[in-house]
Amino acid sequence: MLEEKNDNLQEADGKLGIDTTDSIQENAIDETLGTETAAENLVSETEASTEEDDHQDALDAITNSNAEESEDETLKERHDIPMQDYDTFSLDALVDELRKLIQTDKVMSVKDHIEEIKKSFLLQYNHLIEEKREEFNASKQDPNEEFEYHSPLKSKFDEYYNVFREKRNVHFKHLQSNLKTNLDTRLAIVEELKELINPQENIKDTLKHFNDLRERWKNAGAIPKDKYNHVWNNYHFHVENFYDYLHLDREARDLDFKYNLEQKQKIITRVEELVNETDISKAFRELQDLHRIWKEDIGPVSKEHRDVIWNRFSELTKKIHDKREVLFESQRANEQQNLEIKKEIIGKIEVLGTEKVNSHSQWLVQIQKVEALRNEFFAAGKVPSDVNEETWSSFKTAVRNFNAFKNSFYKDIKKDQNDNLNKKMALVAKAKELQESTDFSSTTPIMKQIQEEWKQIGHVPKKYSDKIWKEFKDACNHYFDKLKEHKSEENQDEVTAFDNKKAYLDILRAYQLTGDHKTDLDAIKQHIEIWKGYGKVPFSRRHIEGKFNKILDALFEKLSLSKKESEMMRFSNRIDSLSDSNDTRKLDNEKIFIMRKIEEVQNEIFQLENNIQFFTNTKNAKKENSIVLEVRKNIAIHKETLDVWKDKLKQLRNLNQPE
């Protein structure tokens, strides 16, 4: 394109002296042409103009890209890092991707990627903040309380982005300091090129100077992109002048033209291959490099080949450009498809924002549905840029409306949650009050009871939930840790008690009655007291108590005690064992059992007395018969039994009386 411009400039110079009379006559002739011919000419000119514009668009795309990259050569390296659809990334994934990108030293090669990540992150994060603020406003108790939300992810993102920004600022400072120097260097080279046309100078020295200028040009470095095309055009124009207008060694010039032609033909051959490259983006990037080489590294060719070779190069460039446009059209079609997907997702969220549900569990299902739709929305990919803001706004509105609808439900149940909070705070206070208690037998059932009550109480406001649960749990754990420690100490005592009782059984088995009733009875009572003095045994070894009772029963039989005395002594020993074990439940059960037995015996006595009245009221009852005597005997036995049960009940009740 640039060679074509220079040739056109020369042709324009050649036509400056043309007489305009001929042109006027030609116009007059054209006006006499028929309408059809004029129309054909118009169509032809239009097609030619359109084709030329298309070629120009293709060349401009290359030129603009190279002009931008000429300012900062690190931009060339950005092509090595694929641009991903960051809108589909989660917040965690975006932060992780940012962390990876800032590790590169070529900061400008990732500039566009990082800015896209920033845009996607802020969109999602701001949406999250809006949701958190709505939740806060719906649940806050104090109207003066200010909303605050701190996200570790946001802190990490800011930290990584600040690293990038600092690197970018350092890079720009360094770049700006070099751009002007490089521009002055290149302009100076152009001025030296102008001065090369000096017939008085030796041709060999001139060629050496020219080659030195070309080498200095290649190494001059980046310049501002807005100066790129102007400076290059000047440079190229004077290079061609050097070839065309200086009285150089024609043989050397022709060899140089030939070499340049061969190099440009190689480029054309490579571009012909790139036309068939399946990776269009890769082909376009390489085409950029080839255009740069064509312009920067290879000199001009002879005039007879300039137009032909340039036109071929530009035609191939247009083909690749057209394929790139087709790719863009495909991408735009995908964006349109993504737009339809996102519209459908927004519609589903809008429907969920109107479906009324009446329980917390049902709302959890609704919330999960919206969360899934949110993830689908972010994963759907980019939409056309002209509707991006509108789509995002519709999505935020749909989610906001759903949250407002959800919050209206939870406002209604807030009172219940506050009531639950008061109940749980009362249990916390009770648990703290009991946590230092050493009366384990009475405190343990209470602590277990308040734990059960805690489970039955419903939800409390979320902002208090963790705090009061921790207080309650700490108080309960403190008490039960003490209980466990106490039981551990008791267990060791119980094992010792078992060992002592086991040894004492052998002594008791060897004991022989003396024959004196009182002495033997006192001795047995002494054995019982010694046995009780050893204390409780482990629960799993309680069988030793049964062995002791069997030995006692045998001794009582030998003593020929009355039934009541024997029964009460056995009962006293049993009750003492239950008292020592602090098993209040078994003592209560024993009391209930005795009371039932008393009632049964009383009913039996009442029934027998009714029966005997029947026999004594008959005419022949002057003398009691054997049946009446048997009944009276049974009544006496039952009364004796009743006395025993009453004494047992009295003994049990005395256990609960303070000393």
DSSP per position, 499-527: HHHHHHHHHHHH----S-HHHHHHHHHHH
Question: Tokens for 89?
Answer: 């990334």
* 238 CB burial (10 A radius; 0-12, 13-18, 19+): buried
Output 42 or 377, whichever has higher pLDDT: 377
In this predicted structure, what is the pLDDT of residue 40? 34
Average pLDDT over residues 180-187: 84
Q: Which residues, in sequence order, are CB contacts of 138 under 8 Å at separation 6+?
A: 407, 410, 411
Gap between the Cα atoms of 143 and 256, Å rounded: 85
Gap between the Cα atoms of 349 and 370, Å rounded: 6
DSSP single-letter state for residue 33: S
Q: Which amino acid is at 347?
A: G
DSSP string, 374-389: HHHHHHT----HHHHH
In this predicted structure, what is the pLDDT of residue 93? 86
In this predicted structure, what is the pLDDT of residue 20? 32
Least confident window among 39-53, 89-103, 543-557: 39-53
pLDDT band at 11 (very low <50, low <70, confident <90, very high): very low
Q: Which amino acid is at 397?
A: T
Average pLDDT over residues 242-249: 61
Average pLDDT over residues 457-464: 83
DSSP single-letter state for residue 147: P
Gap between the Cα atoms of 412 and 404, Å rounded: 13
Share of the chain above pLDDT 90, in %: 3
pLDDT band at 437 (very low <50, low <70, confident <90, very high): confident
Q: Which amino acid is at 98?
A: L
Selection from 240-249, 418-427, 569-578 with the highest mean pLDDT: 418-427
Least confident window among 119-128, 311-320, 647-656: 647-656
pLDDT band at 269 (very low <50, low <70, confident <90, very high): very high
Residues 611, 631 contacting (CB under 8 angstroms) = yes
Output 9 or 117, whichever has higher pLDDT: 117
How high is the mean pLDDT of the chain?
76
The sign of the CA dihedral 634, 637, 641, 642 is positive
Q: For 413-417, which contacts have Cβ atoms below 8 Å and span 24 or more sequence positions?
A: 413/360, 414/139, 414/461, 416/458, 417/458, 417/459, 417/460, 417/461
Gap between the Cα atoms of 449 and 543, Å rounded: 31
Selection from 14-18, 119-123, 147-151, 177-181 with the highest mean pLDDT: 119-123
Q: Give the residue carrying structure tokens 């863009």.
A: 328
In this predicted structure, what is the pLDDT of residue 28? 30
Least confident window among 226-235, 334-343, 549-558, 575-584: 575-584
| H or E stretch covering 38 | helix 35-71
Residue 514 has pLDDT above 60, yes or no: yes
Selection from 91-95, 270-274, 378-382 with the highest mean pLDDT: 270-274
DSSP single-letter state for residue 145: P
Average pLDDT over residues 524-534: 81
Gap between the Cα atoms of 299 and 3, Å rounded: 11
Residue 397 has pLDDT above 60, yes or no: yes
**What are the CA-CA distances from residue 375 to residues 186, 304, 342, 346, 381 (Å)?**
53, 63, 11, 12, 11
pLDDT band at 628 (very low <50, low <70, confident <90, very high): confident
Gap between the Cα atoms of 388 and 382, Å rounded: 8
Q: Which residues, in sequence order, are CB contacts of 561 under 8 Å at separation 6+?
A: 521, 569
Residue 287 has pLDDT above 80, yes or no: yes
Residues across the chain: 659
Output 382 or 561, whichever has higher pLDDT: 382
**What are the CA-CA distances from residue 317 to residues 349, 417, 584 (Å)?**
47, 71, 100
- pTM of the predicted model as reported, rounded to 2 decimal places: 0.39
Compute CA 250 distance to the chain's CA centroid, rounded to the nearest angstrom: 74
Output 341 or 52, whichever has higher pLDDT: 341
Output 232 or 162, whichever has higher pLDDT: 162
Question: Tokens for 135?
Answer: 């939740």
Average pLDDT over residues 644-652: 80
In this predicted structure, what is the pLDDT of residue 469? 92
In this predicted structure, what is the pLDDT of residue 220? 79
In this predicted structure, what is the pLDDT of residue 51? 52
Residues 310, 3 contacting (CB under 8 angstroms) = yes
Residue 22 has pLDDT above 60, yes or no: no
Gap between the Cα atoms of 48 and 538, Å rounded: 110
In this predicted structure, what is the pLDDT of residue 429? 92
Tell me the per-residue pLDDT of 562-619, one tens digit each, with 9 for 90 and over.
Answer: 666 667 777 776 776 666 656 677 777 878 888 888 888 888 888 888 877 776 665 5
Residues 225, 70 contacting (CB under 8 angstroms) = yes
Residues 171, 172, 173: CA angle, nearest 5 degrees:
95
